[in-house]
Amino acid sequence: MANIQIRKYRDEDSEAVKELFTSGMNEHLPSSFMHVMKQPLTQMLLMCTFCSLMASSKSFLLPVLAVTLLLAGVRQMIAYMFNKYIEASLKNDLNNIGETYLNREDSCFWVAESDGQVVGTVACLPAEDAPEFLELKRMSVCRSHRGMGIAKALCRTVADFTLDRGYPAVILYTSMVATDAQKLYEHMGYKKMRQFLLPEFFAKIINFTLIEYRLNLEEEK
């Protein structure tokens, strides 16, 4: 991990952090679309649309166009769901990282820096639904700097911080389509605790779930 420094966030990092978060989230759009396409409900809808139009119109072009429009609509809905989350995050905690993470007890935000460029981020704070644990958040590494051990170092930074503050565990939430992140967390000792549907209506329709992981630091000692 040559020329990589992990340090606390500074105000001048704001735009780089936001760009890294946004690009990282958008990387999940293709895999999310493929997940939706594998759902039985989606396949049934496409098949019924194609067959009904084929039978009623006696034309091959019309059902093909209709299915194409449906696929475009599904992709737009997925993009809308992601953009809504990105916009909310940029307006909330990422809009004032100092207030959210640096000025609060048992919270922090770190960046990984390479040659003056922010190439990774991670944060933690007491978990909203389980305040006895710290929650790892905003883990992201620039695509050009992956495979260099940065994500593992950021994970260890959070674990060390959690131990220093006397908390017994770190928890985190990641999406079902973030398979590389899941492999990383499991490699770092995190255990899958549960998997649950997002509350949004469209997320329920497409069976989009989050996974909760936990790292029990008392077992790591």
Tokens of 64: 């093909």
pLDDT of residue 63: 87
pTM: 0.88
Whether the predicted pLDDT of 1 surpasses 60: no
Give the tens place of pLDDT for each residue, 122-145. Answer: 999 999 989 899 999 999 999 999
H-helix segments, the chain: 14-26, 29-37, 40-57, 61-91, 97, 150-164, 179-187, 201-205, 217-220
Give the tens place of pLDDT for each residue, 145-157. Answer: 999 999 999 999 9
Tokens of 149: 């051990």
Give the tens place of pLDDT for each residue, 42-91. Answer: 899 899 998 998 888 878 888 899 999 999 998 998 999 899 999 999 99
Contact 63, 53 (CB under 8 A): yes
